Amino acid sequence: MFSFGLGLRTQHYHDFLNTQQPVDWLEILSDNYMVDGGKPLMMLDKIRERYPMVMHGVSLSVGSVNGLDTSYLKKLKALEQRVQPMWVSDHLCWSGVHGRKMHDLLPLPFTHEALEVVSRNIHQAQNALQRPLVLENVSSYLEFESSEMYEWEFLSALCRSTGCKLLLDINNIYVSAFNHGFSADDYMQGVPAESIAQFHLAGHQNNGDHLIDTHDHPVCDGVWELYRKAVKHFGPIPTMIERDDNIPPLEDLLSELDIARGIASEVINQRVAS
């Protein structure tokens, strides 16, 4: 069954508290709530009473050769127990080394060696969380000459070796496909349909000869069309609009979410009719 959510942002706390909004769930940025007390946790607890939630992090760094930060993992587990989310996600990337955080989602070489490192870290996270980890594909702007496989082959191998799930960011596929010249259709055909847990939809910045994943624009026509193809291929996957900057009024995001609902409904009705 389809469900549709939004990312919870501080600008919209009171919108969600004062009026029941037409969303099925909310996605929280885990790192913002891995704190001891304070207003963020207070607001989270109140909103959690009204809406189911999923957790989405940016600092697990599953690509780190040094292994996962056990202190971070402990805090993540504590938040997971507090929120009781439907699933917990992070990114296929590395974001720091030797205790230093880069505050960025850095891409990996798609090699067998990297596959072993990431698989080991995913197992560590899943053992701590006692649930499958959901991994998101990131946008990239350069490719590693050392890569031995395509990104979708790497993701498929991770799912087979660890049992992890995938959060397909449709915008990120679109951005990376444009930047590197691969087929977005090949990407979606190459990942295991049974492993897809969630879709992200977002906007980006078009610089002519390259795209930058900014998540600060409305979803563009090209990403909507790719979403249509994703629904045709994967079926009813939970979908959300993700906006990280230039946060508009909630009504604008709800309008975008209605577009996603309309596309999904149209595709599913066509499948039933055929």
Structural domains of the chain, count: 1
Write the CB contacts of 65 (distance below 8 Å, at least 6 apart in sequence): 97, 117
| Mean pLDDT value across the chain | 95
What pLDDT is stored for residue 106 in this prediction? 87
Beta-carbon count within 10 A of 114 CB: 21
User: Chain centroid to CA 79: how far?
Assistant: 18
Stated length of the chain: 274
What pLDDT is stored for residue 104 in this prediction? 78
Please give the average per-residue pLDDT across 52-75, as a whole number: 96
What pLDDT is stored for residue 157 in this prediction? 98
Candidate from 44-53, 97-106, 134-143, 181-190 with smallest mean pLDDT: 97-106
Residue written as tokens 């197992």?
Answer: 123
Give the separation between CA 155 and CA 157, rounded to whole angstroms: 5
pLDDT exceeds 70 at position 60: yes
Give the separation between CA 39 and CA 42, rounded to whole angstroms: 5
CATH number at residue 140: 3.20.20.150
Give the separation between CA 35 and CA 41, rounded to whole angstroms: 8
Give the separation between CA 207 and CA 50, rounded to whole angstroms: 40
Please give the average per-residue pLDDT across 204-219, as a whole number: 94
What pLDDT is stored for residue 99 in this prediction? 65
* Whether 110 contacts 157, CB under 8 Å: no
- pLDDT band with cut points at 50, 70 and 90 for residue 98: low
What range defines the domain where residue 210 resides?
Answer: 4-273
Which one, of 251, 252, 256, 250, lies nearest residue 12 by Cα? 250
Please give the average per-residue pLDDT across 189-205, as a whole number: 97
> 28 has which bridge partners?
55
